Structure 1
């Protein structure tokens, strides 16, 4: 309820979404929210033009490059309604990528996906991280959290109960108590 949020030494508490995006902070949603009246390709044009300052002609080429990187290039001219659940999640991440973020907040990008689909999303997140994008992962799939994370913060009922490396978290008594009982 209280406190401040700093990003790169600058207070951003209360900044509207468009200003946070300009600073390089984007998020992906647990439930994808594409523009349903636009094609997959057009869904990337808006963040490319706004956040990445690309003109329309440049935006389409950049959008196709992003779609290719995540395996959606063959779906570029479809509307989102024609996509599967995993493709919708990939589109959500592609839209975030199009904004050229420094920080991506990934909100349960793997919820409800099969093990193979989780691996697909993890591969995308690893590639983004390798490009220098910091990722905050909000996730309940522990296999994915443990495999991806360098540092984990565990919350229980909104309170921080543990913080550390994956190895430290799996041995933390407070985490065991909160999630497995006594």
Structure 2
């Protein structure tokens, strides 16, 4: 005979499996490290080299990625040490998200900061880590190369519009 231990649980203390997701009930400042990191959809758009017009401050995306970018996985080859290895690598923070103009419109950090919901393909919604790639929202298959292989003049010929769509 198997003995089963029963535990009484008050209904008001039981886990609510239909709870509002953390990105809808918390501000960026309230997120813990795990929640913050999970917001990244893995699109890789923030890792593209961007050019700024000195006269107009307008930002232009290129189809060229950071030297640490892995085009197969759309991730950083050395995420932990990226800022030590790439001088202009920007660490996203709640404050930075609100001031950086070049984050793409689909960026989850930007969406949450603006009080919007995540798209259906986002990994936190779809449950699929490759959701951005499957939805065509990532840079997968669109990166021409890494920045070390291009001069500034050549980057001018690599300007594309699709990352900002």
Q: TM-score range by the shorter chain?
A: under 0.3
Task: Judging by fraction of residues, say which structure has more helix.
Answer: 1
TM-score (norm 1): 0.20
Larger radius of gyration: 2
Higher relative contact order at CA 8 Å, sep ≥6: structure 1 or structure 2? 2
